[in-house]
Structure 1
Amino acid sequence: MIRNAKRRITISTLYIGVEQQELIEAVREALTNSPALKVTFISDLLRGTREPFPEPSTATLLLTLVAEFPERVEAYFYRSPKLRGLMEKIVPRRFDEGWGLWHCKWYGADDEVIFTGANLSDSYFTNRQDRYYHLRNAPIILSYLQSLLRLYSSYSYRLHPNPPPSASPHHLMPLARGGHPAHLGGNQKAALLWREPSIHPRAFAAHAKATLTAFQRSWREMKRGRRIDIDTWIWPMVQAGVLGIQEEEQGVDKVLRAARDMEDAWRRAGQGQGGRVMVDLTSGYFGLYKKYKEAVLDSHAAYKIIAASPEVSSVPVVVPIVVSPHGPSLTTSPAHPQANGFYQSRGVSHLIPEGYTLLESRFHRDLVSRGRDWDERSQTGIELTEWNRPGWTYHAKGIWLSEMLPTQEQQQPPAPPPPPPPKPFGTFIGSSNLSTRSLKLDVELSNMILTTSPSLQKALGAEVRGLRAHVGRVGESTWRLPERSVSWQARALVALGVEGML
């Protein structure tokens, strides 16, 4: 996409991996071959400058392009306004990312765009499971994304190889902070400069909310004419809890309530008519936002939920799988590498998988106490599984809505026939992890897609089956395994409210 671009490239990501020279060279080649091409990046300031000098970072990678093509390349770095005042001074680097990040991921070129939850680094291109939706002819969507990026750039820092001498020190963040020498090809002046001097860089939430709300309203109300050949609809949803923008929260709540209402209508009809829906839901970091969790638990709709297996197993894992009304049978899976990307990380981060285990086990016990444990015969309840594939980590997140054909219960044989393959008619795709952090702290962009297209429904079904192919059921016996024990330190972090930052 980048190499073929002639007019515009717009890239939004949490960060760009420091090893991504191939990506930078592809952009440089496109700029050289297409004189009219303009390129705009936006990423997170704290994550994009995490590596101290002289180590490379997202900022130093992009600085080479900005310096070489100053009129055609812009790079913006968003910084959450939540971290300010005394906390800004005392919170150590990397921990400061816990107060919110730019988390939107889209990669656009001319009239093509990829929506995803993935960042631009080697692990995502090799052995990290994620989701990617490629729209090949979507000029309106690209114009929307370009306008959205431009609007957010008003609340961001712009990367400057040589900022003007008149720049206020209150609006300037030198890349070589803390007295470290800048190894930027001899450039000692490179800095991040706050774009709008009239707006305070730590107090822009109210201003941004008003502007973004008006922007979203204008796009929703835009008259595009009626076409009878449309079979797929896309609703972009901006979520920025720090700024008071809650479109995802409202949209996903409506989706989950619609699934509940469809199931209730089916039951009122005597369970003999169509109209059931299966909801597949997944997140690489299982810490469902409270409102979503309650919607899942309170509904009678069928759910299949996939979480990442949080840690390595040194012994075979016993996985209960319900196969009949007489109770679970047991199977084992061999030892395998972790699927949670935080496994064995340094510092406090190594406690994060334990925190997710604690949240996951609490959710499981809640669904059991409410009578929502999965029943394979009737295809009802909530099936909680974990994804694990040797040598891979898991970062997929999303929701799928599938038509669910009622299964006929049989007395013989004891096990019911396998359910028909999923046939999704809707999906939620984007950057959100569906967690408290995503809803309250980070800036997210996700999309709700509804379709009647047979080919797209087939592709969505294949996506769901591909994810399900690497899962195993979890249950009460899982939490009793020695390798799934949760330390008091992890329990204390969750009790102190760190769940909202996971």
Structure 2
Amino acid sequence: MRQFVQAIEKSFEVHSAQIVPPYLSWIYNVAPSFSINGDQISILHKPDEFYTTLLERCRGAKKRIVLASLYLGTGPLESALVQALDCRLKELGKDLNVNILLDANRGSRGIHNSRTMLLPLLRSHPHCQVAMFHTPALRGLLRHLLPPRYNELIGLQHMKVYVIDDSLIISGANLSQDYFTNRQDRYILISDCPPIADFYYKLVDKVSSVSLKLCSNNILSMSSNVHPYQCSQETYSSHARSEIWGFYMNMVEQSKRTIEAGHDTWIFPLIELPPISVHLDSKVTKRILELADAGSTLHLATPYFNLTDDYNSTILKRSKAQFQFLMAHPTANSFNTASGPAGRIPHAYTSLAAGFLNWARRIGQCHRITLLEYQRPGWTYHAKGLWHTLAGQSSPYLTLIGSSNFGARSVERDLESQVVIVTSNENLSKRLKEEQNHLYELGIQFSEETATQADRKSPLWVKAVLWFFKNYF
């Protein structure tokens, strides 16, 4: 991306220098920027808080509801959410816009699925829209050969963005019962900020415009002639890139670089769209890792420790910061109880984490690296993101939150969105520290020796398969 390289090289002064450190000033040139007061941000800590907040806000929505997720589950909590949408649509009619974006393959898995959950809504309210993104990489013979679940390996709509009126919840959580009850994630609510809500409303609309449309007869159709798997991949990708990336870059140009009176926090939305060759989120993330100076600390959380080679190299060879990672213990990994080969996936993450520590030790960087595993009986772990605390400070001034797991899928296959939040608001900074502690206090130390324990040692076939399929999970 030529624009990204130029932005890194270019320097300029902005009125917000006291909030955004000089080493981050390039971000204004590559991402839309929105200033707010840090008190407009609420940090939710628990899955049930996320669900209750989402449900209550949908019940009270006045003009728009946008739900972008991987899928919608089929349990009673999900049914209550759909019922809330139905009731509010009956009350407000066409004055309420409801747009839902899911993944076509994940949302079609099984007989009773996301599609069947939403059909009553479409039949009762024709102006309600449900779009289902289908990766252009899954086409031809491969599309017919790969069965459900396995077809999801090729690529997914993975953004988790929830807009209600002029407020936004950015998260890594999907819309299903475990994410509402005992699957730990992160959730940040940005309240009463029309510009940010408008941005994500339009972004989801742009992605929806190049996605399949769910019809009331449960058929997926395309409103244009540019189809994700029926026309050439080049034609579709070019069209989708023009629509989505064109919109995004226009927003970058329109963004103000001066902070409004009373504001103390900047929001920078990022996107990663590998099927159409948009790799902004990963480039910004890499640059933040790379520029973190000695004495500062980066807490990086991911449920699946499968960092890209580029991230690994940046962390161990170029960054000077201290790193504390938090990943899922096998008992907190959602694959732990899976049948067949999928049940061995936690062993693969153990092997990858041990390999990372081995590399750090061989090049003399162990003193900067700590790995922890989240372990909580009866819970699984899905939180991801980054907190950056500067040298001499006790609380983060920056966080990254969204759908990216920082792995190969997030960079090479799936649609992702994160936001960079940079603040000088002391109260928000302290609350970010509390959020970080809430997760990390349940972490137990992981070492190379951990991977040699009888119950953690990876079977040889897992190690062999790992290198062939590393980029698919």
TM range (shorter): 0.7 to 0.9
Query: CA separation in 2, counterparts of 1:371 and 1:430?
Result: 32
- Structure 2 gaps of 5+ residues are 1-56
1:26 and 2:84 are equivalent in the alignment:
yes
The answer to whether the aligner puts 1:62 opposite 2:121 as a matched pair is no
Mapped to 2, the partners of 1:25 and 1:214 lie a distance apart of 36
Among candidates 373, 398, 401, match of residue 426 of structure 1? 398
Q: 1:369 aligns with which of 357, 362, 365?
A: 362
1:126 is aligned to 181
State the number of aligned residues: 408
1:384 maps to 2:442: no
Q: 2:380 aligns with which of 388, 393, 400?
A: 393
- Runs of 4+ more than 6 Å apart: none
1:228 to partner: Cα distance:
3.6
The corresponding residue for 1:12 is 68
Residue 116 of structure 1 pairs with residue 109 of structure 2: no
What is the alpha-carbon distance in structure 2 between the residues aligned to residue 495 and residue 221 of structure 1? 41
Report what 1:149 is aligned to.
Answer: 204
How far apart are residue 348 of structure 1 and its match?
2.4
Kindly provide the CA deviation profile for residues 344-396 of structure 1, in whole angstroms up to 9, marking residues without a partner as x.
Answer: 2023211211111111110111111122223xxxxxx1111111111111000
Q: CA 1:58/1:16 → structure 2, altered by over 3 Å: closer, same or farther?
A: same
| Residue 74 (1) aligns with residue 129 (2) | yes
Q: How far did residue 424 of structure 1 move? A: 0.3
Partner of 2:470: 499
Q: Which amino acid aligns with 2:222?
A: W
Q: Distance in 2 between matches of 1:466 and 1:450?
A: 20
State the partner residue of 1:313: none
Distance in 1 between residues matched to 2:335 and 2:100, nearest whole Å: 27
The two structures, once aligned, show a CA RMSD in angstroms of 1.4
* Alignment deviations for residues 192-213 of structure 1 (CA, whole Å, 9 cap, x no partner): 1112124454521122123322
3-state secondary structure, aligned to 1:118: coil
C-alpha deviation, 1:22, in angstroms: 0.6
CA gap 1:471/1:154 in 2 versus in 1, 3 angstroms: same
> Larger radius of gyration, structure 1 or 2?
1
Q: TM-score, normalised by structure 2?
A: 0.84
Contact 1:155/1:201 (CA < 8 Å) preserved in 2?
A: no
Alignment correspondent of 1:472: 444
Q: 1:302-327 CA distances to partner (integer Å, 9 max, x unpaired)? A: 111111112xxxxxxxxxxxxxxxxx
Tell me what 1:267 maps to: none
CA separation of 1:198 and 1:97: change in aligned 2, threshold 3 A: closer
Taking the aligned partners of 2:143 and 2:203, their CA distance within structure 1 comes to 27
Q: Is the 8 A contact 2:265 2:423 kept in 1?
A: yes
Give the share of equivalent positions with the same residue, in percent: 31
Q: TM-score, normalized by length of structure 1?
A: 0.79
The answer for the alignment partner of 1:251 in structure 2 is 284
Aligned to 1:182: none
Structure 1 unaligned blocks of 5 or more: 162-188, 264-275, 311-337, 375-380, 406-419
**1:251-274 CA distance string (max 9 Å, x none):** 112211220xx22xxxxxxxxxxx
Q: Which residue of 2 aligns with 1:191?
A: 219
* Structure 1 residue 224 displacement after superposition: 4.3
Letter in 2 for 1:237: L
**Which of the two has greater helix per residue?**
2
Distance 1:33 1:489 in 2: 57
Q: Which amino acid is the alignment partner of residue 102 of structure 1?
A: Q
SS at match of 2:299: strand
Distance 2:314 2:228 in 1: 38
TM-fit CA distance, 1:144: 0.8
From 372, 381, 389, the counterpart of 1:402: 389
SS in 1 for 2:58: coil
Q: In 1, Cα distance between the equivalents of 2:218 and 2:314?
A: 49
Task: State the one-letter code of the partner of 2:59.
Answer: R
Matched, 1:287 2:287: no
Contact 1:194 1:201 in 2 (8 A): no
Query: Greater relative contact order: 1 or 2 (C-alpha under 8 angstroms, separation 6 or more)?
Result: 2
